């Protein structure tokens, strides 16, 4: 994909987020399972629903906050995310009009050497503004801004507010290279707890400040098991917002007449087995042997399910994963001889989407280990990803285990 943009936000909080913490003990077994420990989260039950508006995202988050007072700050953060997704949806829909200011390339490259589209830069700025004006945004870092930036004032320094914080990581427009062809794109969001040890001395200067900034940026290098929330927005036939707070996966659809995201897919459960694969099969000869053999069996109807698989591949992660969540299937961007670590970024693509899939009853693996348990060593670290229906992904895991 053309752009994989990271935004790192430190959001001040007045309380802990233990109510949404999910216990995921390390498992040495080759089998990959979502932790079965009892959830601490209290999910809302809606006895009365307006026939006109349904359950809006605002009402959903308000009910969650009333049941779980410790995570009230998340309602503010998701309010900003909701606003940003609505605005980005409108930008994407208008991006191909001759009068649009989002057409073409910016004429610059990001820190990973990728050409920036104007739409990439605009959506990045839009997200920064939306989250800045929650009054809780402290620090931002992205592929375009390679060091943390103070968004509270004119100076490009670092601001860390007192109190506890969240760390939010973003890919503002996943699959932006597909916009010109009208193919679905999306925004990916992950929210972590912030390490309290991150502190910036207001009197530091030059190199001392840079070192402290680097230490704070290292707070983003957390495994997916530390996620307290994750979400994605899909810009397609409708605008969808799918989220998890560690207790199930919920889908909302934007009602443009009301201007509200309405709960349309409560407590999504991905089918345990399927007959759909979603890979870039042009790379098949370069895949690991266990994956090649498993996919070949699926196509021939000789896999464990006995079903003959068909292929559905959009080439946009958010679109492919959304379909996989609803219909079942296996989505993957595995490592190959050219890209041994795959193409997807662990921190702000692989881990948040794995969290969403696991909370819907699916699995996510590299083939050899659970994606959620990998601790990133660098912000833009890539990772092979195979995720989807539980039984089918487990078949891939078993194939890799048998080959070792």
- What CATH number does residue 321 fall under? 3.40.190.80
Q: Is the dihedral of CA 137, 143, 149, 154 positive or negative?
A: negative
306 and 235 share one domain = no
254 and 300 share one domain = no
Using 50, 70 and 90 to split pLDDT, how confident is the model at 378? Answer: confident
Kindly write down the DSSP assignment for every residue of 302-362, as one continuous string: -STT-PPPEE---S-HHHHHHHHHHH--EEEE---SS-TT-SEEIIIIIHHHHHHHHHTT-
Residues 306 and 275: their CA atoms lie apart, in Å, by 9
- Residue 13 phi/psi, 5-degree rounding, is -135, 150
Residues 99 and 217: their CA atoms lie apart, in Å, by 39
| Cα 213 off chain centre by | 24
* DSSP SS3 for 6: coil
pTM for the model stands at 0.82
In the predicted structure, residue 88 carries a pLDDT above the cut 90: yes
163 C-beta neighbours (distance < 10 Å), count: 12
Exposed/middle/buried for 351, CB within 10 Å: 0-12, 13-18, 19+? buried
34 found inside a domain: no
303 and 191 share one domain = no
pLDDT at 159: 33
Give the DSSP letter of residue 281: G
What's the mean pLDDT in 21-46?
Answer: 46
In the predicted structure, residue 22 carries a pLDDT above the cut 80: no
Residue 304 Cα distances to 281, 307, 364, angstroms: 21, 8, 18
198 and 260 share one domain = yes
Q: Domain end: 220, 248, 267, which one? A: 267
236 and 305 share one domain = no
317-327 helix and 351-359 helix, angle to the nearest 10 degrees: 10
244 and 315 share one domain = no
Residue 371 Cα distances to 90, 100, 232, angstroms: 33, 39, 18
Of the ranges 208-217, 270-279, 373-382, which one carries the lowest mean pLDDT score? Answer: 208-217
Using 50, 70 and 90 to split pLDDT, how confident is the model at 208? Answer: low
Looking at mean pLDDT, say which of 3-17, 35-49, 186-200 comes out highest: 186-200
Kindly write down the DSSP assignment for every residue of 142-191, as one continuous string: -SSS-S-EE-SSSS------SSEEEEEEEEEEETGGGGGGT--EEEEEEE
Looking at mean pLDDT, say which of 135-144, 208-217, 259-268 comes out highest: 259-268
Cα dihedral 138→142→145→151 (10° resolution): -20
Share of the chain above pLDDT 70, in %: 68
Residues 34 and 363: their CA atoms lie apart, in Å, by 7
Share of the chain above pLDDT 90, in %: 49
290 and 244 share one domain = no
pLDDT at 87: 93
100 found inside a domain: no
Q: Domain end: 267, 287, 307, which one? A: 267
Residues 311 and 34: their CA atoms lie apart, in Å, by 26
Strand partners, 25: none
Residues 325 and 74: their CA atoms lie apart, in Å, by 24
- What CATH number does residue 203 fall under? 3.30.540.10
Residues 386 and 288: their CA atoms lie apart, in Å, by 13
233 and 289 share one domain = no
pLDDT at 19: 35
The whole-chain average pLDDT of the chain stands at 78
Using 50, 70 and 90 to split pLDDT, how confident is the model at 47? Answer: low
In the predicted structure, residue 401 carries a pLDDT above the cut 70: yes
Segment 113-127, tens digit of pLDDT: 454 567 877 887 787
Cα dihedral 270→276→281→285 (10° resolution): 90
Find the domain containing 373 and state its range. 276-403
Of 198 and 38, the structure prediction assigns the larger pLDDT to 198
Q: Count up the domains in the chain and report the number.
A: 2
Of 342 and 8, the structure prediction assigns the larger pLDDT to 342
233 found inside a domain: yes
260 and 341 share one domain = no
1 found inside a domain: no
Kindly write down the DSSP assignment for every residue of 15-58, as one continuous string: S--GGG--------SSS-----SPP-------S---TTT-SBHH
End-to-end CA distance of the chain: 31
pLDDT at 204: 59
């Amino acid at each position: 994909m053309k752009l994989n943009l990271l935004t790192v936000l430190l959001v001040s909080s007045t309380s802990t987020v233990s109510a949404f913490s999910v216990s995921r003990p390390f498992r040495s077994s080759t089998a990959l399972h979502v932790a079965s420990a009892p959830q601490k989260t209290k999910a809302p039950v809606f006895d009365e629903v307006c026939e006109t508006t349904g359950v809006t995202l605002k009402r959903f988050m308000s009910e969650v906050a009333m049941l779980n007072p410790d995570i009230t700050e998340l309602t503010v953060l998701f309010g900003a995310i909701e606003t940003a997704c609505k605005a980005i949806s409108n930008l994407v829909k208008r991006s191909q009009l001759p009068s649009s200011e989002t057409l073409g390339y910016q004429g610059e490259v990001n820190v990973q050497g990728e050409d920036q589209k104007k739409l990439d830069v605009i959506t990045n700025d839009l997200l920064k503004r939306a989250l800045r004006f929650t009054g809780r945004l402290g620090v931002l870092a992205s592929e375009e801004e390679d060091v943390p930036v103070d968004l509270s004032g004119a100076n490009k320094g670092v601001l860390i507010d007192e109190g506890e914080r969240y760390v939010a990581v973003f890919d503002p427009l996943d699959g932006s290279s597909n916009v010109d062809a009208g193919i679905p794109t999306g925004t990916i969001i992950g929210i972590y707890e912030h390490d309290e040890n991150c502190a910036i001395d207001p009197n530091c200067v030059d190199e001392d400040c840079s070192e402290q900034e680097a230490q704070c940026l290292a707070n983003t290098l957390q495994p997916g098991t530390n996620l307290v929330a994750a979400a994605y927005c899909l810009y397609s036939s409708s605008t969808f917002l799918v989220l998890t707070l560690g207790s199930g996966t919920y889908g909302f659809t934007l009602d443009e007449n009301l201007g509200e995201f309405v709960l349309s897919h409560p407590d999504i459960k991905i089918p345990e087995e399927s007959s759909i694969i979603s890979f870039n099969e042009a790379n098949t000869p370069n895949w690991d042997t266990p994956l090649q053999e498993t996919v070949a069996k699926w196509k021939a109807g000789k896999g464990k399910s006995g079903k003959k698989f068909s292929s559905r591949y959009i080439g946009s992660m958010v679109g492919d994963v959304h379909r996989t969540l609803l219909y079942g299937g296996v989505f993957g961007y595995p490592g190959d001889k050219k890209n041994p670590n795959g193409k997807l970024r662990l921190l702000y693509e692989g881990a948040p989407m794995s969290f969403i899939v696991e909370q819907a009853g699916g699995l996510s693996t590299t083939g050899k280990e659970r994606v959620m348990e990998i601790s990133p060593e660098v912000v833009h670290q890539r990772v092979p990803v195979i995720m989807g229906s539980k039984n089918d992904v487990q078949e891939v895991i078993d194939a890799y285990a048998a080959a070792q």
